[in-house]
Structure 1
Amino acid sequence: MADEGILKRIKIIVKDHGGQLALANAIGVDQGFISKVINKKQEVSYYLISKLCYQLKYSPDWLILGTGEKS
């Protein structure tokens, strides 16, 4: 599931939240988890997508497909 588009948008979300640690704290995961996803050492999971979409209110269409509004 880890296509370059999704990773690019996750990097935008990391930047929006002031870094990996701040994002990790905002969604209740370990900073290492975010780092592994960004560095392609772990697949982008439904778990991460659901946290970004439902906790932080990012649009699933934008995050997954790159279409529509960001939030």
Structure 2
Amino acid sequence: MASRYITWTVPQLKKELIQRDASTHGRKTDLIDRLESYDKNKNFLPPPVLLPEPLDVNWPSTGFQQLKPDH
């Protein structure tokens, strides 16, 4: 499969790598390989943490007395 980056210039490749906080050193083929690796691995970001919806507990808000020092 042909890379979509093959027609990009080296400055374009380096600019894209800078946006991804990746190394910009190496030959053009190295830069292309690095960008393809980032694409395959979703920029090496960890999977998102999905938090559950908060529970609707409906705690009673009336009927309690404040604790007193003599209790």
Using the size of structure 1 for normalisation, the TM-score is: 0.34
Higher helix fraction: Structure 1 or Structure 2?
1
